[in-house]
Structure 1
Amino acid sequence: MIRPKRKTDSLIERPEHDLVGVIRMPESSVSPVTSIVRRIIWAVLALFAAVLIVYLDRDGYRDVNEDGVSFLDAVYYATVSLSTTGYGDIAPESDSARLINILVITPLRILFLIVLVGTTLAVLTERSRQAFKIQRWRSKVRDHVVVVGYGTKGRSAVSAVLSDGVEPSRIVVVDTDQAMLDAASLLGLVTVHGSGTRSDVLRVAGVPRAKSVVVAANRDDSAVLITLTAREMAPSAQIVAAVRETENVHLLRQSGANQVVVSSETAGRLLGMATHTPTVVDMVEDLITPDAGLAIAEREVEPSEVGGSPRHLPDIVLGIVRAGTLHRVDSSEADAIESGDRLLYIRKVTPASD
């Protein structure tokens, strides 16, 4: 007998604490040595504060030797008290000392214990913090970029998006390979563990509110299904899909992709060009590599440029984007720049200094 699927099986129906491990928010990496040093510092500070409080109020404490409480006695009392050992040979006697023990020493004892069992508590704290960050991210995320598939194509797409100035926290990577997601998380990207062919995974990634969706699946049939699902969720999003075979381009376009890149055919053209014009291949590689050299970019026209010819601009203009349509610079539509146009041009990329 086949049982109906419960609603809680859908990721989108789960509460935030159940999505920890599915969604991973970027965290600043801290080395184990740094973490241990920080905990030791907090423990020493808590101990020092307790010693100082006890010593300043030493007249309110009773020592079994009846010789008063020295600074060494204050250190001894603070140490055994914070570690919850408490031999009882030194004890608060006055009302003020007892009140201070209740209001100050007890919280310091709790802080000291948190530091001592920090490894266990860190796991619990990290899970709670991740759940809170997921809840806040899901409520505020808008106009972000979702990259489905973090293989070679996906990683290159992310590099290009980052080079355009998009914040890493506004890029969401969806993949089933945890190692790939760990690599993406190190770059500060939000990651979602799951298959992009599942609608609930895409919803958890925020596709309905995304500005752009990059489909970089390893298989063409998966790319078609992901594109179809993403288009249904986000009718106005810019969807760019990669496909291996040219014969599947029309399927991606019918599924709702705005742009389709044929990876195998593009690589084949470059291989063929390299046999007789290798320098052309070098130039093409330079143009599509966003890190240094030259790069193809797009910008809005300035008011002073309206009415002029794109051929007379200081920038090397390749075309004009008008009402979503690209017109090459040698076409009649690109003779004069109109208000609202965007220019496709070649810009020089300055490599970031280390």
Structure 2
Amino acid sequence: MIHFPAVRRGPLRALSSRLLAALLLVLVVVGIVYLDRGGYRDVNEDGVSLLDCFYYAVVSLSTTGYGDITPMSASARLVNVLVVTPARVLFLIILVGTTLEVLTEQYRTGLRLSRWRRSVKGHVIICGYGTKGRSAVSALLETGFDKQRIVVVERNPAAIRQATAAGLVTVEGSATRSTVLNEAHVRGAKAVIIATDSDDASVLVSLTVRQLTAGQVRIIAAVREAENAPLLKQSGAHHVIVSSATAGRLLGLSTSAPPLIDVVEDLLTPGQGMALAMRSAERDEVGLPPRELTPLVIALVRRGKVVSLTDPAGVKVETGDMLVYVRDDRAGAGTSSAN
């Protein structure tokens, strides 16, 4: 099942608006009948009072129709044909508004689903919307990635509600199943980020993605234990991040070199100061050493591989290289891109 983000009114507000519309409709009919009360006959033969007008409006709009108050004059009957009868239909529509709203929502969801299936391409699939999955989505949005091109695959109902509340399209089900990944249009995806809660599930997801896409979609996965990283790479993952090892190394650095932790947090936290970014090398930068460029270049990516800048022979920028550099995130300088 595919869930789309939606903006819903609260139930109390929706009910209040319907009650107000019904009350206004009753008052309109009461006013019209009261103005022409001489054209109506009451079985009591004592005339039609304001209370009788309310009574007639309510029983007429609710289609009860006891018949004790009836229109007699031509004008009263014309009013019943042109006003009371359409008002009766409108009143019934208000009463069954909940059912109509459900049907309308189902039609709207089906229309959005068909439109989404026709247009989804080059998107990123997030398998798992826990702490790692939410952080991955935040990082994508911080780099300017379109929220409409992010699809979350999750089977936890609470996580699904969080994802849809965040404005993300969500596919309900396990990412280890090919049918669920096909619902997310994995063959047309740009990348699949595996952020499941267990390493064995990550391996199964990676194998399933590789089988469905023949290795044409980039797979990025996170594992808890370092010993499972080689297995995940063998299953098809292009990049594997060991969360426990990374956290342990940061804990060690916080003891031996506390300022390094501040630098890492600054680089990873948006809007705080320094930030990592990547862009293509410009024409006038080709042939120059990376360390002579502005801003500070810390790595080169050449044909998908990272080139070390510590080579004694020296490294120069070539056409097609990607520059990884440090930018001033507070000033919004520089641009970032993803390969």
TM-score bracket for the superposition, by shorter chain length: 0.7 to 0.9
1:260 aligns to what SS in structure 2?
strand
* Alignment partners' CA distance in 2, 1:60 and 1:139: 59
The corresponding residue for 2:277 is 297
Q: CA deviation at 1:321?
A: 2.7
CA contact (8 A) 1:322 1:341 kept: yes
Residue 345 in 1 paired to residue 325 in 2?
Answer: yes
* Alignment partners' CA distance in 1, 2:248 and 2:223: 14
Change (3 A) 1:303 1:335: closer
Residue 247 in 1 paired to residue 227 in 2?
Answer: yes
1:241 aligns to what SS in structure 2?
strand
Amino acid at match of 1:273: L
Q: CA deviation at 1:76?
A: 6.0
The corresponding residue for 1:7 is none
Residue 104 in 1 paired to residue 86 in 2?
Answer: yes
Correspondences of 1:1-354 after superposition (within 5 Å)? 22-44=1-23, 46-47=25-26, 54=32, 62-64=39-41, 77-88=56-67, 89-91=69-71, 93=74, 96-97=78-79, 99-101=81-83, 104-115=86-97, 118=98, 121-234=100-213, 235-290=215-270, 292-302=272-282, 305-306=285-286, 308-330=288-310, 334-336=315-317, 338=319, 340-350=320-330
* Alignment partners' CA distance in 1, 2:279 and 2:92: 57
Decide which structure has the larger Cα Rg and report it: 2
**Deviation sequence 1:308-349 (CA, Å, 0-9, x none):** 5543444222223333233345557852352x4332222333
Q: Structure 1 stretch 210-219 or stretch 320-329: which is displaced more?
A: 320-329
**Deviation sequence 1:63-118 (CA, Å, 0-9, x none):** 11599999988766554433334344244856754552588334422332234xx3
* Alignment partners' CA distance in 1, 2:147 and 2:79: 52
Q: CA deviation at 1:41?
A: 4.3
Q: Structure 1 stretch 88-97 or stretch 174-183: which is displaced more?
A: 88-97
Q: CA deviation at 1:351?
A: 11
Q: How large is the RMSD of aligned CA atoms in angstroms? A: 3.6
Q: CA deviation at 1:38?
A: 3.1
Amino acid at match of 1:295: A
* Alignment partners' CA distance in 2, 1:161 and 1:63: 70
Superposition TM-score, scaled by structure 1 size: 0.76
**Deviation sequence 1:227-285 (CA, Å, 0-9, x none):** 12112223432210112222322222222222111111111111111111112012112
* Alignment partners' CA distance in 1, 2:23 and 2:281: 60
Change (3 A) 1:33 1:98: closer
Amino acid at match of 1:114: V
* Alignment partners' CA distance in 2, 1:68 and 1:329: 101
For structure 1, the 5+ residue unaligned runs are: 1-21
Q: CA deviation at 1:214?
A: 0.4
Q: CA deviation at 1:210?
A: 1.3
1:224 aligns to what SS in structure 2?
helix
* Alignment partners' CA distance in 2, 1:29 and 1:258: 40
* Alignment partners' CA distance in 1, 2:281 and 2:24: 59
Change (3 A) 1:245 1:72: same
Superposition TM-score, scaled by structure 2 size: 0.79
* Alignment partners' CA distance in 2, 1:301 and 1:46: 68
* Count of residue pairs the alignment pairs up: 325
* Alignment partners' CA distance in 1, 2:20 and 2:227: 64
CA contact (8 A) 1:270 1:281 kept: yes
For structure 2, the 5+ residue unaligned runs are: 333-339
**Deviation sequence 1:286-314 (CA, Å, 0-9, x none):** 21233543322223445555555543444
CA contact (8 A) 1:59 1:69 kept: no
